[in-house]
Amino acid sequence: DTGVSQNPRHKITKRGQNVTFRCDPISEHNRLYWYRQTLGQGPEFLTYFQNEAQLEKSRLLSDRFSAERPKGSFSTLEIQRTEQGDSAMYLCASSAGVGVRADTQYFGPGTRLTVL
């Protein structure tokens, strides 16, 4: 399977714990995105990488959230001191980077986070 993969698919944690999610993009895609989706809403943009550089960050990305893409391949999203409001589906997407209008983002299956 050469699509975007995310691990774990589900994560249940207690409030105050730290969690880390991993995203493996489609190989040779130089752009990688993180989104968050809560029930009844469309995905909301969190952050975007071009290779290893983090170029855009949403105001939704509080200081408890950090994302990395150290070698320009896989990416991790860490949430520190989780809160119940962090419960959501965290989606990763990647794209080949062919300009904005024609650039297609391919989404992974997501990681469902539940904070108790």
Partner 1 sequence: TQLLEQSPQFLSIQEGENLTVYCNSSSVFSSLQWYRQEPGEGPVLLVTVVTGGEVKKLKRLTFQFGDARKDSSLHITAAQPGDTGLYLCAAYSGAGSYQLTFGKGTKLSVIP
Q: How far apart are CA 46 and CA 64, in angstroms?
A: 13
User: Cα(52)–Cα(36) distance, rounded to whole angstroms?
Assistant: 21
Q: Binding residue for partner 1 (CB under 8 A) from 58, 73, 76, 87? A: 58
Return the residue of 18, 41, 51, 62 that touches partner 1, per CB under 8 A. 41
Stretch that binds partner 1, among 14-22, 60-68, 78-86, 87-95 (CB under 8 A): 87-95
CA distances (Å), origin 22, targets 14, 19, 55, 68, 102: 19, 10, 19, 10, 26
Distance CA 46, CA 36 (A): 7
Do residues 79 and 108 make contact, with C-beta atoms less than 8 angstroms apart? no
25: contact with partner 1 by CB under 8 A: no
Q: Return the number of the residue (15 or 40) whose C-beta is nearest partner 1.
A: 40
User: According to the binding rule CB under 8 A, does residue 43 interact with partner 1?
Assistant: yes
**Would you tell me which residues interact with partner 1 (CB under 8 A)?**
4, 31, 33, 35, 40-45, 48, 55-56, 58, 91, 93, 95, 100-110, 112
